[in-house]
Amino acid sequence: MNSRLKYIVLTGAWAASILWTTNPILAQSNSPKFPLLTIEDTTVKKVAPKNWFNLDPKKDQVNGVGSERAYQELLKGRSSQSVIVAIIDSGVDIEHEDLKNKLWVNKGEIPNNGIDDDKNGYVDDVNGWNFIGGKDGKNVAQDTHESTRLYAKFKAKFSGKAESDIAPADKADFEIYQKAKAMYETKVAEYSGQKDMIDNYAMMFNKSERLLAAYLDTEQVTLEEVQGIETEDKVVGRAKQIMELFLANGLTKETIKDNQEQLGNMLKYGFDLNFDPRSIVGDDYNNKNERGYGNNDVKGPDASHGTHVAGIVAAERGNNLGMDGVAEKVQIMSIRAVPDGDERDKDVANAIRYAVDNGAKIVNMSFGKGFSPDKAVVDEAIKYAESKGVLLIHAAGNDGADTDKTGNFPTRDLNDGRKANNWLEIGALSWKSGEDMVAVFSNYGKNHVDLFAPGVDIYATTPNQKYQNNSGTSMAAPVTSGVAAVLLSYFPHLTASQVREILVKSTYKLPAQKVKKPSEAEEPEVVEFGQLSVTGGIVNVYEAIKEAQKIKLPKKR
């Protein structure tokens, strides 16, 4: 499932809005189950330090990536060049005030003349391409999950059959069917429960808001007004506690409604065995090597997730607007391939190839799913990027799962048994310290997650000149992509594999730090941070630059 779905998380101690990125697969995002809000839930969560992901663990005592320190102490006065970063995602708002000057522009294409001027196979691809749109300008908004598609594909053939009934030639498909069916049924039950929960939150919020609006004789209830209420009336007092909890944690009527709509769409479209929007695209879906389909609408119907990701990498620095991205000299190439639902392997493969062929040096992939039926096609695209020296950075997923044991697609593990050397897998870090350092939702893996990066309460761009906090490994990946872009901007002679090696080697290492292992358990297991990733470290641009300075320029021939 894709990482775009936001879930309101209300626990007995605090409330927060979390963006769960179902990453490459994010293994199929398993959203934790949380208790309903009760009268005791009155604790307001602490607020993340402003711009925390750009701060430095040594200088600022917060586990950011050291961007501000690097610019001030190591990069001032040094020359740099622009780096193209492709954002394969839901789309990017290319008119956003903080991004419009940071867009990749295809100089070989004359805008909107209906001609493929640069003969790259894509008509009017000025700022990127949309692989889930049609030639008529229509776009896929929702799509099913891969488990839904596989369950629907094999249901008629295998439903009601036992393994002893299956012919040897069908054994592999039957195994896929069983896994897809189990995941499908689990998710339907899970999301139905979450929808009921959030509907309950909405009822509580609306009822409390109406009561307090009447009590305060106001049209719009504010946090300050609520906090100022002094009453012995138990009904008003309960409404005050509920509204204070919601408002103090940034949960508004709009936020709750958005969650209701997204979960409703998940159940309406994502798990509908008969829903298939692919006719909108108009491609030959069975031809996995087909190119050139889609349209040039790089924003699409909902660019919230992609715009947030793009801002983390590239929002203009120092313009006194909203926030600063990690990288200063960067051009964002928007490639739309991720719907509200699971991305399709064919589109992912073509998106990677498009990025490579059009000059991207880094590809950010904040998406994922639990099945990859056309993995061979994606593998070939990964190997193509590897051959062209393009770095692929991928979100590890938000299931609180060990990716050494569960599927998480796409992946650096290729069908030929080799591991791609141009790949980084990223877990999510909280702004908190000590045992609470790791994001409660982040996937992890001693062998499959390379490093961690900030991914909780990341304030960044959203469509229509807005900004908001989102959380997820979807945010940690672009933080890392931004760090990689800084390196390539100032050290353009570095290869993709060298950048990968530098980022891994230069992490701010805390292997012995005791942390709570991501889990749905009320009392999570406490483990050493070093057990959750290859490096036991946090990506750090300050340290990466010092490491990059040790690598000599290649000799001219």
pLDDT exceeding 70 applies to what percent of the chain? 91
pLDDT exceeding 90 applies to what percent of the chain? 84
pLDDT surpasses 80 at 16? no
Answer yes or no: do 158 and 137 share one domain: no
Q: Which band of pLDDT confidence, cut at 50, 70 and 90, is reported for residue 29?
A: very low
Alpha helix locations (H) across 266-344?
A: 304-314
Rounded to the nearest angstrom, the gap between the alpha carbon of residue 260 and the centroid of all alpha carbons in its chain is 20
In a domain, 285, yes or no: no
Q: What pLDDT, in 10s, does the model give residues 197-233? A: 899 999 999 999 999 999 999 999 999 999 999 999 9
In a domain, 52, yes or no: yes
Answer yes or no: do 380 and 457 share one domain: yes
Of 231, 266, 301, which marks where a domain is finished? Answer: 266
In a domain, 183, yes or no: yes
Q: What pLDDT, in 10s, does the model give residues 270-282? A: 999 999 999 999 9
Answer yes or no: do 12 and 136 share one domain: yes
Arithmetic mean of pLDDT, 237-256: 88
Quote the pLDDT of residue 557.
59
Of 266, 290, 318, which marks where a domain is finished? Answer: 266
Of 203, 235, 266, which marks where a domain is finished? Answer: 266
Q: Which band of pLDDT confidence, cut at 50, 70 and 90, is reported for residue 407?
A: confident
Cα separation, 367 vs 343, in Å, equals: 8
Rounded to the nearest angstrom, the gap between the alpha carbon of residue 243 and the centroid of all alpha carbons in its chain is 30
3-state secondary structure of 165: helix
- Residues forming a β-bridge with 429: 438, 454
Answer yes or no: do 259 and 205 share one domain: yes
Neighbours of 206 (CB within 10 A): 13
What is the average pLDDT value for the chain, to the nearest integer?
Answer: 91
In a domain, 114, yes or no: yes
Tokens encoding 284? 């030959």
- pTM for the model stands at 0.90
Residue with tokens 């901007």: 489
In a domain, 296, yes or no: no
Q: What is the CATH number of the domain that holds 120?
A: 3.40.50.200
Answer yes or no: do 159 and 171 share one domain: yes
Answer yes or no: do 99 and 13 share one domain: yes
Cα separation, 65 vs 62, in Å, equals: 9
In a domain, 128, yes or no: yes
| Residue 111 DSSP label | T
Answer yes or no: do 440 and 328 share one domain: yes
Q: Please check whether residue 146 is in contact with residue 342, taking contact to mean a CB–CB distance below 8 angstroms.
A: yes
Answer yes or no: do 320 and 405 share one domain: yes
User: Where in the sequence is the domain holding 197, given as residue range(s)?
Assistant: 148-266
Q: Please tell me the total count of domains within the chain.
A: 2
In a domain, 429, yes or no: yes
Answer yes or no: do 139 and 209 share one domain: no
> Which of these, 460, 379, 458, 461, lies nearest to 423 by C-alpha position?
379
Answer yes or no: do 394 and 322 share one domain: yes
- Of the two residues 56 and 520, the one the predictor is more confident about is 56
Answer yes or no: do 215 and 169 share one domain: yes
Quote the pLDDT of residue 45.
61
Quote the pLDDT of residue 90.
97
Answer yes or no: do 139 and 152 share one domain: no
In a domain, 425, yes or no: yes
Across 387-506, the runs of DSSP E, i.e. the strands, are 391-395, 423-429, 451-454, 458-462, 466-470
